[in-house]
Structure 1
Amino acid sequence: MSTRRAPQFGIIAVLAVLTGATAPAVANADVDHSDLSRDQWAHELLDLEEAWEHGRGTGARVALLDTGVDQTHPDLDSAIVDEVDVTGQDLDPDTAPLGRHGTLMAGLVAARGHGEEHAGGVLGAAPEAGILSVRTTTAQDGSAESAEQDWVVSGIERAVSENAQVILLTGPATGSEAEREAIAEAHNRGVFVVVPGDGPHVATPNALSVNAVDEQQQLVSPEGATPNAEASLAAPGQDVLTTDPDGGFTEASGTTAASALAAGVAALIRAEYPQLRPDDVAEALQDGTTSPPANDEASDTGYGSGVLNAAAALEAAADSAEDVPPFDPSLAEEDTEDSPWLFWATVAAGAAFIVLAALLVFRLARGRRGGTRRARRR
């Protein structure tokens, strides 16, 4: 994943284009509630404006397994519902800003804007969803140097226990069997998992993997790498405007950025149709895609995943939800075939409720008859 600072307004932006220099992040004081949404080209490609007519992710919780998040950012201060650190390590005060990579990803998922009617700053794909920040790495740039298997596994388990509906795994991962088992367990418990398309879990069952495309829907990938044909779909991942620590804004690129946007769209679906299982959500996201991304080198290698369209994905989810009950307790539990005790416990609880209700009715009836007899005697 790479980043490039968003240009300041006026002459700084022009100089940055002409010289190729990196401009500083746009500080909150400089923004002064200015609307940066016109620079969020990913919104148009994802068709988010139409998708938001259905909802903006209210009630959905996305667990972000990454570096941690700078909660002081004005566009994120109400988006972080809780934070967890499973690394057990304190950061060196001289390191880069706390949670830089996680802050970029959080902005793509659920930035809320700021100022009057949230008109300033940027918006994420699901601007009313909540983020559970789970710190699973001590590398502030999100690199794999600090990847430890038990941190990722612990982070996934914690996300499940904290009732996340979506898990976004943009921090470093090892691709170990233990991580795959944790992802499978999360899936079995009704949690939808999103991973980068060039990461170690691109082919892991029970996870949606995401490639990156630019504004022309051309596949993009890290230098020297080839877009992975096994990825589930593609989403914007080139110079996408997002939040930066200390109240700034920057541009993010790569499959982590693309997967963050896809996780936000998944949160829109989970908020509107919480009864859908993870497989239903994955199917809706894949059904809601445009034509396959353009890539001359990959044109004959089966890149048929398509580019995500949020509005179409929500329509596909609505169709699936017509055949699913509004509330499905099994979303939070394992299938009864794997847990027979749960089935019988449910049956027993239901029988006990019926017996108690019958006893209550019987006692009330006896009380009324007794009262009538006493009244007659008087």
Structure 2
Amino acid sequence: MEILTTNNVWMMICTALVFFMHLGFSLLEIGLTRQKNTINILFKNVFIVCIGLLLYCLIGFNLMYPGAFNGVLGFSGFGLTSPVTPEGLLDLTYNQGYTYWTDFLFQGMFAATAATIVSGAVAERVKIVPFMIFTIFYVGLVYPIAGSWKWGGGFLQTMETPFYDFAGSTLVHSVGGWAAVVAVWLLGPRIGKFVDGKPQAIPGHNLPLATAGVLILWLGWFGFNGGSVLSADPGLTSLTLVTTCLAAASGGVVAMLVSTAVYKNLDLTMFLNGILGGLVAITAGADQMSPTDAILIGSIAGAIIVLAVACVDKIKLDDPVGAIAVHLVCGLWGTLAVGFFGKLAGFDQIISQLIGIICYAVMCLGSSFIILIILKKTMGLRVSEIEELEGLDGHEHGMDAYPDFRLNENT
């Protein structure tokens, strides 16, 4: 009982840390965008958390963990039903690490993250209602079904060499990243982003908030990765937190160095995204890596960030916060890195990682395209030109985030 209590308390602390990450995402997104869209971004992020938890309670948890199923799709019923003993008492043998209720809440916090990634990528020009509808389908159906393929004991877990994703480089981050690609492509770039085919910088209005957001996310990753140990095991939890932090630090430093070499300036946003890239990359194998492995994985992620941001601009996709580079590209790298570094390294593991990546790419690209193209054809995805120029806060919400500090219509 003491072990269960200790493990369960640690898991609840990690749940709170993952919840805290949503504040980090919110601050990062508003900091890297213009002040006239602040309320719109905050509204989307708060909605994602609220609707995500409700949907995960109603159907998501039982889609993601359906028990015995065909490995592709299963469903164990609506709502939450706590396991009980024959005497009608709460069954504390549900799991050696935590109770049924803790399991639901911890996993539910993960569920909303995928849509939050999309929120940042489509910022400043997406209609709020179609985005909310997209969130309902993507968080309520797509994410848990995709998650069941690995974490629910599905076909990717039962392969001869199982696909491995410790805390979600693919299952969370690339699931959001693939949808972000589709959404950004269907929406098109913001007005003024590309002039004569060349990308133009559209500065965010508050880099101190963006910096605070990244540091909060880093803190939250202690729960994101640390909680994925699924117990308070001192050795494994400590190692996981060390590899997580080293990857973040090396990702930030290398992104700073590479961006300075390429662009001849010390770009804070590249530094911040390098930290996030390192965190995303280590997430797939944080429990399998040595400190040296973690530094190498984070360093490569930091270099990838600079190249990926440039490539996203090159193909004329407008991603205001760098979500595609951070969550998709670094998520893919981190997933592959499991086959190159750490205890699972080997050719068979690389092949398994590639199979998992392809399966999730097909699932997420296809499902997000179907949802978004239907919304585009029926409701429209993008606000009008005048709404975009004047800001979504006034047109979509009828209020201003900074009523006593309005600079001009382009901020």
* TM-score normalised by the chain length of structure 1: 0.28
Tell me which protein shows more helix as a share of its residues: 2
**Relative contact order, higher structure (CA 8 A, sep 6+):** 2
Q: Is the radius of gyration larger for structure 1 or structure 2?
A: 1
Tell me which protein shows more strand as a share of its residues: 1
* TM-score normalised by the chain length of structure 2: 0.26
